Amino acid sequence: MRGRIAAWCMSALLLAAVPALAQTPAPKLPVPANEDCQACHGDPSATRANGAPVVVDTERFAKSAHGPLSCVDCHSDLAAGVEFPHPDKLAKVKCATCHEQSVEQYEHGIHADARHKDPNSRAATCVDCHGGSAHGILPSSDPESATNKLKVARTCAKCHGNKAPVNLSGGRNGAVAALFHDSIHGQALAKKGLVVAPTCSDCHGNHAIVPKRLPDSPVSPRNVPVTCGKCHEGIRHEFAGGIHGAKLAGGNLSAPNCASCHSAHGIARTDTDDWQLHAVEQCGTCHKESLKTYRDTFHGQVTALGFTPVAKCVDCHGAHEVLPRQDGRSAVAEANLIKTCGQCHEGATANFVAYNPHANKHDKSRLPLLYYSARFMEGLLVFVFGFFGVHTMLWFSRGRTARVPHVPPPAKHPALRAVEKPAPRKREVTGD
């Protein structure tokens, strides 16, 4: 009996020991150091199974912003240790591990949205903007960094250039890099190296780049004055005090903003003839009737011929703080007309400024005298052409019915015809 009890006890102890033996931790695998990784990835001939190279430039990585890090800080699935060779495909590197806020902003942007909708999208990722190489990312303070102030436009042009432009929402062409490069901002950056000049990220943001149709976008119509005002603060205040700024702030997104007149990317100098002539047409996109009546005047005719030393829209109404005529501060308020017109017409008088630069002969309610004068002149014109037209037709008809019969010329005297008749020519005979 005692023997059986002892056997049972031994069996129970063995059964209890089995799980404990099963839970014995496996030998810990070594965590690879950077030197271990370089043993393979420092070899230029090393490739993946598909033939893609896996070489990492050691020197370039050491100079990068991530140079002080270990390989396993980004390739975290190797941080628990691994047997070499490690699996051909590692887990995707998560930049958010260190750059949580930047990645969160990126996820709310148009680029991440495009990639979520289509994994094969060309929309930019972290690496695309930060140098194109995960192991060579430089801090933006480095002049060679793709995100350096003087290099950002070139980086964005990789997708928004003219060679292979991306399409924006609504089928709009995203090739805006050339426009920006030729603009006053682009030239200040590219030719003069002015870091105070704005580049793409100054207007669109760094990571949270959202389309302008969203109200929180810095380039939405309502926010454009604030965005431009970061540099052009004085102009921002002037614009806000004008009728355009007031309408825009009031929610009228059709009201002009900075980009409406200056364009978004191809911003040019405003002191050139091309710009000033263009500005007249630009004002006319909203003020069609005013442009039409302006073209009827001497000022409008001269500018239509391509000359600028005459009054244009901004010369009379101002450029940014445009105010309605009823506002006493307006340059075209009745009390200010002598001063405004006197900018070009020295010695202008009250009688001189009574001239209406936007007279409309078709608007009876506004200018009845001009309206009836125009109708009289039109009636007179129709009468004169009609009267003389009928007169000409009647005269022509009378000429045909009263045609004078044809009288043959008198016959000449026979003697005179004989004199006029030429003598026959004699044929010359040769010696043969």
Residues 6+ apart with CB under 8 A from 115: 121, 123, 125
Assess whether pLDDT exceeds 70 at residue 319: yes
Query: pLDDT per residue over 31-71, tens digit each?
Result: 889 999 988 898 888 888 888 888 999 999 999 999 999 99
Give the pLDDT confidence score for residue 93 in this predicted structure.
93
Retrieve residue 126's tokens: 């972290």
Residues 6+ apart with CB under 8 A from 49: 88
Retrieve residue 365's tokens: 């309610």
Retrieve residue 54's tokens: 């896996």
Give the pLDDT confidence score for residue 104 in this predicted structure.
96
Retrieve residue 263's tokens: 């364009």
Backbone conformation region of residue 166, classed left if phi is above 0, alpha if psi is from -120 to 50, else beta: beta
Assess whether pLDDT exceeds 80 at residue 171: no
Assess whether pLDDT exceeds 90 at residue 198: yes
Angle between helices 110-117 and 100-107 (to 10 degrees): 70
Assess whether pLDDT exceeds 80 at residue 427: no
Assess whether pLDDT exceeds 70 at residue 146: yes
Q: Among all chains, which residue has been given the structure tokens 């005979």?
A: 429
| Secondary structure in 3-state letters for 155-179 | HHHHHHCCCCCCECHHHCECCCHHH
Retrieve residue 58's tokens: 């050691």
8 Å CB contact between 247 and 282 = no
Query: pLDDT per residue over 261-287, tens digit each?
Result: 999 999 999 999 999 999 999 999 999
pTM attached to this predicted model: 0.74
Query: pLDDT per residue over 332-380, tens digit each?
Result: 999 999 999 999 999 999 999 998 889 888 888 888 888 999 999 999 9
Average pLDDT for the chain: 87
Q: Cα–Cα distance between 138 and 97 in angstroms, integer? A: 18
Q: Cα–Cα distance between 139 and 154 in angstroms, integer? A: 16
Assess whether pLDDT exceeds 70 at residue 22: no
User: Nearest-5° angle of CA 286, CA 287, CA 291?
Assistant: 130
**Closest by Cα among 81, 33, 36, 41 to 58:** 41
8 Å CB contact between 66 and 135 = yes
Assess whether pLDDT exceeds 50 at residue 425: yes
Distances (CA, A) of 224 to 127, 205, 241, 254, 395: 29, 13, 15, 13, 70
| Secondary structure in 3-state letters for the chain | CHHHHHHHHHHHHHHHHHHHHHCCCCCCCCCCCHHHHHHHHCCCCCECCCCCECCCCHHHHHHCCCCCCCHHHHCHHHCCCCCCCCCCCCCCCCHHHCCHHHHHHHHCCHHHHHHHHCCCCCCCCHHHHCCCCCCCCCCCCCCCCCCCCCCHHHHHHHHHCCCCCCECHHHCECCCHHHHHHCHHHHHHHCCCCCCCCCHHHHHCCCCCCCCCCCCCCCCCCCHHHHHHCCCHHHHHHHHHCHHHHHHHCCCCCCCCHHHHHCCCCCCCCCCHHHHHHHHHHHHHHCHHHHHHHHCCHHHHHHHCCCCCCCCHHHHHCCCCCCCCCCCCCCCCHHHHHHHHCCCCCCCCCCHHHCCCCCCCCCCCCCHHHHHHHHHHHHHHHHHHHHHHHHHHHHHHHHHHCCCCCCCCCCCCHHHHHHHCCCCCCCCCCCC
Give the pLDDT confidence score for residue 341 in this predicted structure.
95
